């Protein structure tokens, strides 16, 4: 029970990595605030955790809205008195050639992947300063460390998340707030399934990419376990890092 009674807000927790982190946090005893822009999937995650004897509330909201970001944090504080952990997971992808990516698509990527992380992180940070500490975990990607074809906008935003993470960590460390980023590679989620289909249509061999990770996709649970470590007191001196979860993919 590494996270027993810690109050944690997880954005984009309706599916994929966010849902996996929510499940793992609940197993470790966390009190969860589940957020998603999709009310159906977000509520499903909260209901699943509750049915398994966990504690979870669903708060609908768009992370790129300053009002919604504040509402998520306010909900946690009003109901539970504090916010110990934020997992900034909500993100979108656009898989298109650089020359064909539209201004609207780029704007959408920036709104969710950068602005959303900034706004929710800011509200969580303000609360954590008041209460004397906390842990913020921003989801970047190996696309924030290296690049991949057809993901110019996505990689740009995920590189930005790492820069934002390090700046937040530097500024907030005197307030006992740690800020770290996770950089997963190819994880078995609906997002990677969509990307693989587009890559295949563009004659890009996904198998050759995953071969560098010993011919398998990563598991959501493998990302969630690292998130638990960063959320727990066991990582008390880990701050300002961007941790690859990639089976040496970025080392090759």
- Rounded alpha-carbon distances, angstroms, from residue 179 to 4, 70, 98: 20, 19, 31
> Is 199 annotated in the active site?
no
Q: How far apart are CA 169 and CA 120, in angstroms?
A: 15
Give the single-character DSSP code of 219.
P
Q: How far apart are CA 207 and CA 215, in angstroms?
A: 7
Residue 24, beta-bridge partner list: none
Residues 28/1, Cβ–Cβ less than 8 Å: yes
Residues 206/149, Cβ–Cβ less than 8 Å: no
Choosing from 154, 186, 199, 249, the catalytic residue is 154
Q: Which two tokens stand for residue 61?
A: 């909201």
- Phi, psi of 243, rounded to the nearest 5 degrees: -95, 115
Q: Which residues are catalytic?
A: 154
């Amino acid at each position: 029970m590494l996270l027993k009674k810690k109050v944690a807000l997880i954005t984009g927790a309706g599916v994929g990595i966010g849902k996996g982190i929510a499940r793992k946090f609940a197993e470790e005893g966390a009190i969860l605030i589940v957020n998603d822009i999709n009310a159906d999937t977000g509520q499903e995650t909260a209901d699943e955790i509750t049915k398994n004897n966990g504690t979870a509330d669903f708060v609908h909201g768009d992370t790129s809205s300053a009002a919604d970001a504040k509402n998520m944090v306010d909900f946690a504080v009003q109901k539970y008195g504090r916010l110990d952990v934020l997992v900034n997971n909500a993100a979108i992808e656009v898989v298109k050639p650089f020359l064909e990516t539209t201004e609207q698509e780029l704007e959408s990527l920036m709104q969710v992947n950068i602005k959303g992380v900034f706004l929710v992180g800011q509200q969580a940070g303000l609360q954590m300063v008041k209460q004397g500490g906390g842990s913020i975990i921003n989801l970047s990607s190996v696309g924030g460390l290296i690049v991949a074809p057809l993901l110019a906008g996505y990689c740009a935003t995920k590189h930005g998340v790492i820069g934002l993470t390090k700046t937040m960590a530097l500024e907030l460390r005197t307030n006992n707030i740690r800020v770290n980023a996770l950089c997963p590679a190819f994880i078995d989620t609906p997002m990677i399934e969509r990307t693989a289909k587009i890559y295949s249509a563009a004659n890009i061999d996904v198998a050759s990419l995953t071969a560098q990770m010993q011919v398998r996709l990563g598991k959501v649970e493998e990302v969630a376990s690292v998130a638990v470590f960063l959320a727990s007191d066991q990582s008390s001196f880990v701050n300002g890092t961007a941790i690859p979860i990639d089976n040496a993919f970025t080392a090759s």
